Amino acid sequence: MLRGASRLLGGAARVRTGSQLRFLNLQEYQSKGLLEKHGCTVQKFIIATNQNEAKERIKVFGDIEYVVKAQILAGGRGKGHFIDGKKGLGGVYITMDRDQALNSVSEMVGKRLVTKQTPQEGVKVEKVMVCEGVPIKRETYLAVLMDRESNGPCVVVSPQGGMDIEQVAEKTPHLIFKHPIDIEVGMTDEQALKIASCLEFKGELAKAAAEQIKRLYSLFIAVDATQVEINPFVETKDGRVFCVDAKINFDDSAAFRQKEIFAMEDTSEKDAREVEAHRYNLNYIGMSGNIACLVNGAGLAMATMDIIKLKGGEPANFLDVGGSVNEDQVFHAFRIITNDPQVKCVLVNVFGGIVNCATIANGIVSACRKIKLGNVQALS
């Protein structure tokens, strides 16, 4: 699954720890729960943190195929591997044997899973989802997202879905279809059927797929999502349509009216510094270099990192303190970036036309007085 379906629309230092997520990003089981709540068809599933929990909870299943999936905030789990786990085991395991399913739960929980979308050291699996398998006949791809080009919602689809959707976008872009939606009108029956046709659903199944597509769009609007990605969106051998894998991202600006959803956030995979910076309304992303940056404005911050790279250095972070920053925020920004043991110096680059330089200076002076800087040097 793509990290952001926007990749279908069109060399700084490597992120070092945690999953860098600017918007709220739910685990798959949480996303599937929202889909189910809004009338979308998903498989039966349970969530477990250990084998005993899984053993008790899968009693609701009959004699079925079991799909065990590691719950981390990254795609490509099926082709991933565990650093310290069973050789050959990926983040998705399918079996008809209940005991094997339960064993795979214990083999995943507590281990670090590496995929194309995780840091090199992988992400520790805290939970797994076990769901019933469905008799898949055909896999397609569907995502609803905000599109800058059309200034509104857009449904992006491909009749070829599954784990290799990135390759579809790269090698056969003509199989990716975009359907802009008028946000004031919403998705019409005609549009939904047209999208279902692009996904190569036919006859009565096309009507069923269109209904699911309309419900997915309604969910997208109702929860203030920036993306609802279903990969795969499947046709089963017995003539049903299922949302088998789900990924939903949300607009942080909507937190005040989506309190129940934002309360579901799991910050265990995020960089702890990013989580702390967010508390002070600071835009921070940790990197692998040793030159910390404190800058106002995202564009200037990126240009500052480019200059560091151009001169042979490595930035330790992206940090945009914003144009309305106060002294307390500057203090905490300085504290966060100097807490990084790899940082040797701090480069402060502030454009005085946006923010009062005295505010920045006073915040830095306060930080230097209260924080043990060690070998860190401040440059401006």
Which among 17, 12, 22, 13 is positioned nearest to 3, based on CA atoms?
22
Q: Which of 29, 93, 141, 284 is catalytic?
A: 141
Cβ 43 vs Cβ 36: under 8 Å: no
Which among 280, 279, 332, 284 is positioned nearest to 17, based on CA atoms?
284
Instruction: Specify whether 229 is catalytic.
Output: yes
Which among 247, 332, 310 is positioned nearest to 25, based on CA atoms?
247
Sign, CA dihedral 243-112-267-152, equals negative
Sort strands 246-250 and 377-379 into parallel, antiparallel or unpaired.
unpaired
Instruction: Specify whether 121 is catalytic.
Output: no
Q: Which of 28, 229, 269, 274 is catalytic?
A: 229
97 by Cβ neighbours in 10 Å (0-12 / 13-18 / 19+) ranks as exposed
| CA 263/CA 22 separation, integer angstroms | 16
Which among 353, 299, 297, 357 is positioned nearest to 327, based on CA atoms?
357
Known catalytic residues are 141, 229
